[in-house]
Amino acid sequence: MTSTINRSLTVLIGATLTMTLALGLRQSFGIYLIPITQTFGWSRETFSLAIALQMLLAGIGQPLAGSLADRYGSGRVVSLAAVGFSVSLLLMALSTTPATFILTAGLLAGLSMGGMGTSVVLGAVGRATVESKRSMYFGIVTAGGSLGMFLLLPLGHFFISNFGWVTALMITGLLCLTIIPVGQLLTESSSPTSGDRPSPLRALRAAGRETRFLLLVAGFFVCGFHVSFIATHLPAYLSDKGIASSIGASALSLIGLFNIFGSFTFGYLGKHFSKKYTLCWLYLSRSIIISLFIMLPISNLSVLIFGATMGFIWLGTIPLTSGLVGQMFGMRYLGALYGIVFLGHQLGSFLGVWLGGFVFDITGSYNIIWWAAIGLGIASSLIHLPINELQKTDLDLPGVDSITVK
């Protein structure tokens, strides 16, 4: 028992630190939009397309990375991905054309991010944690990602302001290498697939035949649309409104800070209450907060309040959604299954980021995207209602379709 607890805590620490570094770096690209586009005279759609492709490829890579982690161990996958992401940031700093920027910031960074994503990290935690603590541990790991936003966004803004965006990218690229030793703490969760169990691909096919799994994917699509649009375009939106860039960086930092508390809260709620109904209220709350933000007069104070309130519910979807996947389908293939759900998230991220730049270049405003985000939040709230979270499908035992959770 003691060794099991120690292993669980070791994996939890490694997963939390990995998410702190990986998510903090990943969510910082929005502060580069204005300086990079102004340096080269690019449209916002050019920058947005690169980041949108990054999000999409990170999502496409998640099921594969999750399957590899399920089979060979999360530590190896995370370490290899960290090297790739570090190289992508260094090359991104040297990019001077839209094509090279899309290649480095989009293709290489996106594929690398897939190996450091939540499906890999949460899969490790899920396999090392008893069911009674799983939702809470997922919340702690998610809070680590928020801590990364809180710490690394102001640091990135400081680097840009004092050394320029090129040097800032190089510094963060080197910082990314610190994920390698941290990721090794996840190695103990390695659980190679035995020959008598179905492959991750077979598990994906089995889960994909269930409507409730597809509803989870659709709901998480909306989460991706929201968070990626805001993280990428909020600083530029505020700059257009005459708000200082430091306030934009502070708002994103506050999102990270308050989501630390939110992640713990939603991890706790997921342990004690219905996960699907909690998700319904979360998505509806997002729509209400965004509506108030764009309809009320904008000021430094309103921006900071928006960052704090949106931050509290920012990534509360992760412990709830991943917890639902584990609750409905078991933990053996959480990496692969959650990878598919996360792919839906990244499809939403792609559209949120790219459409933000595209619509702005056409209309000179982000209003259409803000209202689309409100409508999608309401739709996602409704999507989760029909999900049957009390039925568990066993993907490991041939011939056993489902059992009911008591």
- How far is it, in rounded angstroms, from Cα 174 to Cα 72? 26
User: What pLDDT, on the 0 to 100 scale, is given for residue 73?
Assistant: 78
Cβ atoms 86, 108 nearer than 8 A = no
Mean pLDDT within 301-321? 90
| Structure confidence at residue 310 as a pLDDT band (50, 70, 90) | very high
Other beta carbons within 10 angstroms of residue 20's beta carbon come to: 24
Q: Encode 205-257 in three state secondary structure.
A: HHHHCCHHHHHHHHHHHHHHHHHHHHHHHHHHHHHHCCCCHHHHHHHHHHHHH
| Structure confidence at residue 400 as a pLDDT band (50, 70, 90) | very low
Helix (H) or strand (E) holding 104: none
- How far is it, in rounded angstroms, from Cα 175 to Cα 82? 10
Mean pLDDT within 293-314? 94
Say yes or no to pLDDT of 6 above 80.
no
pLDDT digits (tens, 9 = 90+) for 203-236: 777 777 788 888 999 999 999 999 999 988 999 9
Say yes or no to pLDDT of 194 above 50.
no
Domain boundaries, the chain: 2-182+199-398
Query: Cα-flanking dihedrals φ and ψ of residue 273, to 5°?
Result: -135, 170
User: What pLDDT, on the 0 to 100 scale, is given for residue 301?
Assistant: 95
- How far is it, in rounded angstroms, from Cα 44 to Cα 30? 11
pLDDT digits (tens, 9 = 90+) for 328-343: 887 677 767 877 888 8
Q: How far is residue 79 from each of residues 14, 173, 175, 218, measured CA to CA in Å? A: 12, 14, 13, 30
Q: Any residues with CB less than 8 A from the CB of 356 and at least 6 apart, and which?
A: 44, 48, 229, 232, 233, 366, 369
Helix spans in 273-403 (H): 275-295, 300-312, 317-329, 334-363, 367-383
- Using DSSP's 3-state secondary structure scheme, residue 109 falls into helix
Of 388, 284, 287, 275, the C-alpha closest to 321 is 275
Query: Long-range contacts: 365-371, Cβ < 8 Å, 24+?
Result: 366/233, 366/237, 366/240, 367/294, 369/229, 369/233, 370/290, 370/294, 371/294
User: What pLDDT, on the 0 to 100 scale, is given for residue 147?
Assistant: 81
Would the pTM count as exceeding 0.95? Answer: no
pLDDT digits (tens, 9 = 90+) for 108-167: 999 898 888 777 887 788 777 777 777 778 778 877 777 887 888 888 889 999 999 999
Mean pLDDT within 43-58? 89
- How far is it, in rounded angstroms, from Cα 133 to Cα 257? 23
| Structure confidence at residue 192 as a pLDDT band (50, 70, 90) | very low
User: What pLDDT, on the 0 to 100 scale, is given for residue 146?
Assistant: 76
CATH number of 2-182+199-398: 1.20.1250.20
User: What pLDDT, on the 0 to 100 scale, is given for residue 189?
Assistant: 44
Cβ atoms 204, 336 nearer than 8 A = yes
